[in-house]
Structure 1
Amino acid sequence: MVDAEFRLSALGLLRPSPTGGQVAVSPETAADTLLAPMEQDILQRRIAMAATRARLHALSGDYLEARSLRSAKSSIEIVEGTENARAVIDDLARTCAESLDALVPGSGLDEVAVKAATPLDMEMLERGVKMRSLFQHSARKNRVQVRHAALLTSAGGQVRSTSVLPSRMLIYDGGCAVIPLGPERVGVGAALIRDPTVLGFLQRLFEHYWDRALDFAEEEQRDGPEPTEVERDVLLLMAAGKKDEAIAHQLGMSPRSVSRIVARLMERLDAESRFQAGARAALNGWLSDD
């Protein structure tokens, strides 16, 4: 009986009587008493939300003005900080109307980067944006990147790969290029290029690598005396005096993979040294552009 009275009192259904003891209270009255503080708190939160929304909307003019300045031609803008650069890239992706050309060096994007990029990529493709993505051959061994490439292709995007890429780069609508800050400042921001002369050069650079690339799903020829594209790039870098570690870094591969390729090439060329391998490859015409 005592437990029941305690529970009823906690719910506000029993109140002390002026004459002693307790008196029953209607559920409606108890509800008003118990819920009044909560309703007051909700009201205050709604008022705070409305005030915050009004303050944010008041900044729309400043945002549009800043964006118009960013869109000015003949300019190169430096965006400091990884988060700031990401915010700018997201904004460019959401307003991209015609095309996106992307160079992605290394072994491709990791799972976190793919998860972040996929919604925007799909949204752009659904809007009819022409998307071309160029990776290095080493990205074909990245299962996450392979799935992402297949998704882009199925949605209408074009994906290719090549052996060597100079830098990460994004070109939106042929009017704005985004490149990371120099190697000595990796991960701290990006440069936005709208200068027509520089932008024209970057677009031609993209086309140069794109025209020489393979479809991402296309396998390189592995049989026969002629070297594959990867093997040829290794030979060219060997001929330039590069060591395995430097070749691996430039091609986005592991040093162990490069060492295996070098050993296989020296065996095919019957060479006893790297110099001899380069000389025999040149005599075979393997290092020419034809």
Structure 2
Amino acid sequence: MKDTKQTHPHPVTELCADGERLYASALSAGRISRSEAEGAPCLLEFALLHPDPDDANWLQPVPPSVVLAQRLQPIEREIQERRRLSVDLTAAFEPFMAISTQMPPTTHAITVLEGVSRINAALDKAITESHTEVLTVQPGGGRSEHLLSEALQRSKPLIERGISMRTLYQHTVRYSQNTFAYVDKMAGARVEIRTLEELIERLIICDHDVAFIPAQAGDDMALELRHPGLVQYLINVFDQLWRRATPLQDDVQYEATVEGITGVQRSIAKLLIEGHVDEAIARRLGMNVRTCRAHIAKIAAALGSGSRAQLGYLIAQSGMLERES
């Protein structure tokens, strides 16, 4: 007997090859032997064959029109029930439809975007629909060539339409060759880049219509904001940061203290006495943890600190943060 493990079970809509062949043969001949039908147990399971009343060794085929009617009956009954439910739902909500037409138009003020592909699709749509200006805040250090390539691809339609872009990075991108290569490719476009030592979380604003901010740590969830008040507030925050930032083409002036502590190190010192750990400080200043710890070691050496606990006390006593420029 033929092995049927690979073809059973299966739905009636996908008869196995043996089932199709034997059912067709039974319809042509008017019957089929039980032994032959054993190769396709689905024929009995789906009631395509039934026992011959005159001879138990034979099976007779059920006409396909009968089988089809039997299979369609519950489906048609369900369709009718669904239609009745649709009518009932429409009748239930119809009285409220007239009321809703009198309400002022609303937009989804806050939309949660989950998944990188959905976030990118929403960003691409908003950027494509921009008419005047796109503002972006990109915290962290130098971005990878892959990310900058994506940013360049997304910026192309803006450049072609003459839309201006203002971007804020952290000072650490000044040591990134990829960033300057990106700037060179954007030459001639209405693009301005400035840097700050410390930035808020990532932010993208398109015109005065929509803003995107992270919804949680990581890159797989964001909020799309369309409430005019919220968007304007974020534009004001961006403008304040922009006024404090230094154009990328200008040198950042770090005036060292008498102890030889630089501006970057003063920022690290301030975060240290606020209780932040090395990883959090590095993330906020857009540098890797190793570089951050090297700066902490230089601060400790300049102040003569022998321990981490003592370092916080010496920073406070030195007055270096009062002289922060």
Pairwise same-fold verdict (TM > 0.5) = yes
The one-letter code matched in structure 2 to 1:209 is L
Could you tell me which of 207, 220, 229 is aligned with 2:252? Answer: 220
The answer to whether the 8 A contact 2:114-2:220 is kept is yes
Number of equivalences? 218
State the secondary structure of the residue aligned to 2:186. Answer: helix
RMSD: 2.6
1:113 corresponds in structure 2 to 147
Q: How far off its partner does 1:172 sit?
A: 0.4
Distance verdict in 2 for CA 1:279–1:152, change over 3 Å: farther
1:202 Cα deviation (Å)? 1.7
Partners of 1:196 and 1:217 in 2: CA distance: 33
Bigger drift between 121-130 and 224-233 goes to 224-233
Is the contact between residue 153 and residue 159 of structure 1 (CA under 8 Å) also seen in structure 2? Answer: no
Corresponding residue number in structure 1 for 2:130: 96
Q: Which segment is superposed worse, 252-261 or 204-213?
A: 204-213
Partner of 1:66: none
C-alpha spacing 1:150/1:211, structure 2 compared with 1 (3 Å): farther
Q: Relative to structure 2, which stretch is displaced further, 115-124 or 256-265?
A: 115-124
CA distance in 2, matches of 1:161, 1:99: 19
Which residues in structure 2 correspond to 1:1-290 (within 5 Å)? 73=107, 75-152=109-186, 154-183=188-217, 186-222=218-254, 224-225=256-257, 227-274=261-308, 276-282=310-316, 285-288=319-322
- The one-letter amino acid paired with 2:130 is C
Point out the structure with the larger helix share.
1
Contact 2:255 2:263 in 1 (8 A): no
Secondary structure of the structure 2 residue equivalent to 1:221: coil
Report the 3-state secondary structure (helix = DSSP H, G, I; strand = E; otherwise coil) of the residue aligned with 1:225: coil
Partners in 2 of 1:122 and 1:285 — Cα distance?
48
Shift of 1:239: 1.0
TM-score (norm 2): 0.59
Q: Which has the higher contact order (CA 8 A, sep 6+)?
A: 1
SS in 1 for 2:300: helix
What is aligned with 1:13?
A: none
Runs of at least 5 residues in structure 2 that lack an aligned partner in the other structure: 1-104
Alpha-carbon distance, 1:161 to partner: 1.4
Separation (CA, whole Å) in 2 of partners of 1:91 and 1:129: 15
Q: Secondary structure, in 3 states, of the residue corresponding to 1:260?
A: helix
TM-score (norm 1): 0.66
Distance in 1 between residues matched to 2:306 and 2:263, nearest whole Å:
23
